[in-house]
Amino acid sequence: MRVIVAAAGSQKKWGGHLGVRSHFAPVRSVLEGDEPAVPLLERTLTQLAAYTSDVWLTVPADEPGPYEALAAAHGARTHQADAAARNEFESSRPVWRPDTVNVLLLGDVWFTDRALDTILTAAAVTSTDDDGFRFFGREHASTVTGTPWGEIFANSWRGRNNDRMSALTDATRREQDAGRADPTKHGWTILRMLQGTPLRQHEVRPPWWVEIDDATDDLDFPDDYRRHPATRGLTPGGTACA
């Protein structure tokens, strides 16, 4: 299994909050407790060590140093994203592995241990009687974190389907450029193409969709960070408020 953590995004939604990129925002490793906060991406890499040593990070070309240092400390490798890449699928394509399952995790997601186990276990045992594509996320708003919309946290596919995944990635760009798909919803667009559902209609279907509805959530915006239970009460430096 190859796990690729997508951490090369533009950070426009995050907007420099806390003076760091969202991947380095301080978070608690568990929801309850007073242990020191750690950078979000460091927590994810620590979790992944229990599953595989084949871990890659896609990193931004303008500031790769901190990502490369963190990856080296955790035995992961890095790929510097092409500046022309529009989304996590385009930026990770050069490191898709053809002889195993590929798992693409969004790097600004706080994953519960249970969610990560669900993703990596399901990806590893995808049956041979379907196409092997899976998207993992929450269909609607979260009653745990307060995020008012659905999210995609990860997706997986068999390496032998790399060509199809690449074609879907290219088709997403074409559909967005033509105005037939939301230009901000890359993963949702690929999912809808797999399902055969309208590109602007919010609908999920098994087996392509696997629901994860717990404290796992995407910390895209400052408000996402402030309301997540793993960050509530933290000061900007990552310590608990008195």
| Residue 217, domain member (yes or no) | yes
Instruction: Give domain status of residue 204, yes or no.
Output: no
> 80 lies in a domain?
yes
| 187 lies in some domain | no
Going by C-alpha positions, the residue among 226, 12, 216 that lies closest to residue 115 is 216
Q: What's the pLDDT score for residue 240?
A: 54
Q: Which residues of the chain have pLDDT under 70?
A: 126-130, 235-242
Question: Which range marks the domain in which residue 141 is found?
Answer: 2-158+210-227
Indicate which CATH number applies to the domain containing 88: 3.90.550.10
Q: Residue 232: inside a domain, yes or no?
A: no
**pLDDT score, position 216:** 98
Give 17's contacts (C-beta < 8 A, 6+ positions apart): 25, 222, 225
pLDDT of residue 126: 63
* Residue at 215 is within a domain: yes
Q: Rounded to an integer, what distance in angstroms lies between the CA atom of residue 80 and that of residue 101?
A: 22
**Cβ proximity of 89 and 104 under 8 Å:** yes
Report yes or no on 238 lying in a domain.
Answer: no
User: What total number of domains does the chain contain?
Assistant: 1
Does 28 reside within a domain?
A: yes
